[in-house]
Amino acid sequence: MRKRSDVRGHVAPREPATRESREDGGPGPPTPASVEVEGLTFAYPGGPHVLHDLTLSVAAGERLGIIGPSGAGKTTLLLHLNGILRSQAGTVSVDGRVVAPESMALIREWVGLVFQDPDDQLFTPTVGEDVAFGPRNLGLPETEVTRRVTDALGALDMTGSEKRPSYGLSYGERRRAALATVLSMEPRAVALDEPFANLSPAMVERLIGILRDLPATVIVVSQAILPLLAACDRLALLADGKIQALGSTREIAGNRDLLRRHGLDFTFYLESYRRLNL
């Protein structure tokens, strides 16, 4: 089981990130951060390499989707971005800062990770307490904590849900509440693990809009390729421990041979739709 500190971060001296100004003159959210992975290698105890000499560059403000067959190491890669897993070889850097023990508190403030299971991130009695946990852990003034909670919930159409018990939320609402716990930290990069799984089409559409509008770099792992085409600028295909292909959504989605080789060809959905003559 992950420790709460692995999810939300630690109290430590803070290094302010570059920020734009809000309309009211106050400091706005930090500017998006670049993410660089260089020669990353990792194996779980007693097992083969899951990632092997993996290299990937994500520009500040980019929306990158990561696809690949089950067991390819997509979640393992995400868990390296804010130091939940530590590289056995190679480096991960965020805005030029290497993910290492001495930078961990800062990295976990800069990089927010949204797990596939929202219950991994919701552990207090109410939604408001869950969303406030991270900012309070940073030692922020209560007025700033309240603002961040209000802004995060408002961005996800959950205004007024602060007092609702987390266990009483629907699955889609728990997904949004889990994302709100990350947004309240005002991260410079957000990484999401299978965010579209088990969501209704309407909620998938809403989530795509949210991801497009986030003032942060966004990295999304998903087996659902169609939502990634709408949410992301580029796609990376991860298989056999390495990035096998990287390009625009159009380039990767249009390469049926590549997708078919890795069990990811989605065009039968389109063919089914066309057969209905809609």
Q: Give the model's pLDDT for residue 35.
A: 97
Beta-strand pair 234-239/242-248: antiparallel
| For residue 274, pLDDT beyond 90 | no
Query: CA-based angle 20:122:149, to the nearest 5?
Result: 30
Q: Give the model's pLDDT for residue 156.
A: 87
In sign, the C-alpha dihedral spanning 75, 78, 82, 85 is positive
pLDDT in tens, 188-208: 999 999 999 888 888 899 899
pLDDT in tens, 78-112: 999 999 999 999 999 999 999 999 999 899 999 99
Strand segments, DSSP code E, in the chain are 19-21, 27-30, 35-43, 49-58, 63-67, 89-94, 97-98, 111-114, 189-193, 217-221, 234-239, 242-248
The pTM for the full model equals: 0.86
Confidence at 270, pLDDT banded by 50, 70, 90: confident
Q: Give the model's pLDDT for residue 224.
A: 86
| For residue 126, pLDDT beyond 90 | yes
What strands lie across the sheet with 63-67, from one edge to the other? 111-114, 189-193, 217-221, 63-67, 234-239, 242-248
Q: What is the mean pLDDT of residues 212-234?
A: 94
| For residue 12, pLDDT beyond 50 | no
Secondary-structure class of domain 32-117+189-275 per CATH:
alpha beta
